[in-house]
Structure 1
Amino acid sequence: MTPPVFAHGHLRLYLLSILASQPMHGYELMQALGERFGGTYVPSAGTIYPRLAKLEEEGLVTKSTDGRKTVYAITDAGRTELENRQGELDGIESDVTDSVRRLADEVRTSVNDAMKTLRADLASAAREARSEAHEAGRTVKMEPQRQQGGMQLREAEMVLNEFRHQVRADLRGLAAGGKLPENTVSLLTSQLAAVRKSLRENGAK
């Protein structure tokens, strides 16, 4: 099971530290958190707003209306809270750094595993084709097709390797710009699974 990004109570303190720089509305807070995590983690509204409500209840933040937006600002009591818990906040910053590395590793692992599975499926399909040709007694007649199949397999593996490098470059670019979506891993997994399914279905025809 993937460990939580923040330990119990730490997200509230971290939100308070972000608001110490300037007042923000909820969406801006979510964006600020996403930027600090390089886009590998973006909290939902259901995660942020209950914490903000608790901070307001404790007198650590206030909220005001700016058009249709609700803007949150830290209070003097909130700044005092930050000063008193500075050591704890430093530990949270260290945990955030570790979480960013862990989440980035999970994205890389997901991509690598998916690519390995695709290559294994291609190799398996090629072996099955050779085995079927042999059992049917068509080894000689199928030799040109087997050679063609081997060439296609090598070309497919080259395409997969190039795709892997391109995806990694894209992921790093998005992460560096703080634009890596929260659903990156699930999106990669579902799309690569769709490619596998398509390969199997075409091979069965």
Structure 2
Amino acid sequence: MTPVFAHGSLRLYLLSLLAEQPRHGYELIQALSDRFGGTYIPSAGTIYPRLAKLEEEGLVTKATDGRKTVYEITAAGRAELLAREGDLDAIETEVTDSVRRLADEVRFGVTEAMKSLRADLASAKRQARDDGAATPPEATNEPGAATRLESNRALHEADLVLNEFRQQLRADLRRSAARSRVPATTVPELRRQLAEVRAGILASLSH
């Protein structure tokens, strides 16, 4: 992410926040985060060294309030702000520009992340499809799975054969009936032969 504050700007901006009211370190971090709409949250390692420097220069003081260290601007600090009022106005403009830039970066990052996610999902889908095509179900380690698959496949093919046989025989009988060539013995003979075929199939299934 590109720098939010130009060199020395954060120091002056912290002074301006302390001019509003005394704050402890976390409150300063939260105030900065609020000013930037959550797009920029400075670390403690960024804030506390600058507060220590401001204290060394006599621009802020600190006091302990329970377990918190509260920083307060001094008269010298207010004089510094007054003397650099023009610089502070420029920093406010800088902050506005930074918020806009950071928002654009976040928006771009989210857009790219969504594109990446969609690409990953599409890739995973293709990989799963390829894996399914490359690895036949017979290769599964589940006990009996290959046998069940083969049995279901045979059953499906048998259904196709029976349907095809029925359609062909029906068409043949209708053509013969159109020429008055279907004798009365046709149906008993059909029953007998079908029964023989069924018995033979059942015998082969019992082996």
TM-score by length of 2: 0.59
Q: CA 1:120/1:80 → structure 2, altered by over 3 Å: closer, same or farther?
A: same
Task: Return the letter of the residue paired with 1:104.
Answer: A
Alignment-derived partner of residue 70 in structure 1: 69
AA partner of residue 64 (structure 1): A
Give distance in 2, aligned partners of 1:129 and 1:54. Answer: 59
Aligned-partner Cα distance in 2 for 1:59–1:133? 72
Q: Secondary structure in 1 aligned to 2:72? A: strand
**5+ long unaligned stretches in structure 1:** 137-205
Larger Rg: 2
| Residue 111 of structure 2: aligned partner | 112
Structure 1 residue 70, shift from structure 2 partner = 1.0
Distance in 1 of aligned mates of 2:70 and 2:133 = 72
CA distance in 1, matches of 2:108, 2:72: 39
* Structure 2: stretches of 5+ with no match in the other structure: 136-207
TM-score, length basis structure 1: 0.59
Secondary structure in 2 matching 1:50: helix
**Percent identity (aligned):** 75
Paired amino acid for 1:39: G
- Closer, same or farther in 2 for the Cα pair 1:130/1:96, shift >3 Å? same
Counterpart residue number, 1:37: 36
AA aligned to 1:89 is: L
Aligned residue number for residue 162 of structure 2: none
**Aligned-partner Cα distance in 2 for 1:126–1:68:** 54
Question: Structure 1, residues 152-178: CA drift from partner, whole Å, max 9, x if none?
Answer: xxxxxxxxxxxxxxxxxxxxxxxxxxx
Instruction: Name the SS of the counterpart of 2:27 in structure 1.
Output: helix
CA separation of 1:40 and 1:133: change in aligned 2, threshold 3 A: closer
- Matched residue of 2:103: which SS? helix
In the TM superposition, 1:1-205 aligns within 5 A as 2-124=1-123
| Distance in 1 between residues matched to 2:87 and 2:75, nearest whole Å | 19
